[in-house]
Amino acid sequence: MEEGCMINSNFLGISLFMRCLRMLVRILVLLYLAGAPALAQTLCQPNASNGCRVRISIKTALGNQAYEWNENEMFLFRATMAFAMRRYYKTETYNVDNIIMCNQTLRVSFWFVVTSPENSTMLIPKADVEKAVRMSRHRINNAFLLTDRTLEFLGIHPTLAAPVNPDTPPWLIVFGVVIGAVFAGIIALLVSSLLQKRRKEKGMMEDGQDEEDRQMKGVENDNVLDGIYNRGFTDDDRFTKL
């Protein structure tokens, strides 16, 4: 009988200890859960030294096809930022929980900070965050169907479009076409008028006896006959030949 009581009392002690332990764990968990957001809130503040401000203009960018900015979009933003951090540091340790956002307004604008995956109280410096954003800016924009100007990271200037430098300036090509056509036309016209003159000269030399007739008739448009028609000159030979 006595061994059973001793076993019973031991058993009771152990179960009490387990109950106390569970309660402690629950309290700790509750404290942690309650405290974590509070901790996060202290990390993310407007004008914080390591925080970035974001300004989004969906209606300006998309007009009629604008989507509504809600919690899901916020989640997408955090996922995209985590992606950008992963890409920059080339690790796979960043998660959605590392991106903390606060101070959201109707504009839509908000602040966000990035915590280190190893130590959730340590913030990633703003310069590194900016570099990460710059690296993946194009992907971030496309995730939201926005551009550098409608998805603004204040402090990070929009990237300037790289100058398009074609091998030959386009105006030279147009100029080449025009001047080629003009010179071809000039040469064609000069050659054709030269040929016309040669043909007329040949025709004139064949009937040289009729030169006086030609002079009396007058001249054609392009052909220029030298000499001045002297009214006093008459060719009497033609009439007096018998």
Partner 1 sequence: MPEEGMEDNKGREERPKWNNKAEYLLTCIGFAVGVGNVWRFPYLCQIYGGGAFLIPYLIALVFQGLPLLYLELAIGQRLRMGSIGVWNSISPYLGGVGVASMVVSFCVSLFYNTIVAWVLWYLFNSFQDPLPWSQCPLNHNNTGYVKECVESTPVNYFWYRQTLNITPNMETSGSLQWWLVVSLATAWSIIYICFIRGIETIGKAVYVTATFPYLVLTIFLVRALTLPGSSEGLIYLFTPDVSPLSNPQVWLDAATQIFFSLSVAFGGLISFSSYNSQKNNCERDAVLVGVINSATSIYASIPIFAILGFKAHTNYVTCLNGNILALTNEFDISDMNITVENYEQWFDSLNGTHPSRVSDLNLKTCDLQTFLDQSASGTGLAFIVFTEAVISMPGSQVWAVLFFIMLFSLGLSSMFGNLEGILTPLHDLKLVPKWMPNELFTAIICLVLFLMALIFCLGSGNYWLEIFNSYVGSVPFLIIAFFEIIAVAYIYGIGRFSDDLEFMTGHRPNIFWKVCWLVISPLMLFVVLVAYVAVQAQTHPTYAAWNPDYVNFPDTEVLPYPDWVFAICVLLSSVPVISIPLVAIYRLICCMSGRHSKGSLHNDPNPYANEGYVVES
Binding residues vs partner 1 (CB under 8 A)? 55-60, 105-109, 160, 162-163, 170-175, 178-179, 182-183, 185-186, 189-190, 193, 197, 215-216, 218-222, 224, 226-230
For residue 95, the minimal CB distance to partner 1 (Å) is 30
For residue 128, the minimal CB distance to partner 1 (Å) is 21
For residue 76, the minimal CB distance to partner 1 (Å) is 18
Which of 55, 134 has the CB closer to partner 1? Answer: 55
Which of 32, 229 has the CB closer to partner 1? Answer: 229
Three-class SS state of 230? coil
For residue 47, the minimal CB distance to partner 1 (Å) is 14
Which of 28, 194 has the CB closer to partner 1? Answer: 194
Structure token digits, residue 186: 């000039």
Which of 120, 212 has the CB closer to partner 1? Answer: 212
Which of 97, 235 has the CB closer to partner 1? Answer: 235
> Dihedral of CA 116/75/160/166: which sign?
positive
Give φ, ψ of 8 to 5 degrees: -60, -45
Helices (runs of H) and strands (runs of E) counted in the chain: 8, 4
CA triple 21-25-28, angle to 5 deg: 135
For residue 83, the minimal CB distance to partner 1 (Å) is 25
CA distance 189 to 194: 8
- Amino acid 232 reads G
- The DSSP annotation for 125-176 comes to PHHHHHHHHHHTHHHHHHHHT--TTTEEETTSPPPPPPP---SS-HHHHHHH
For residue 108, the minimal CB distance to partner 1 (Å) is 7
Which of 95, 215 has the CB closer to partner 1? Answer: 215
Structure token digits, residue 32: 């942690």
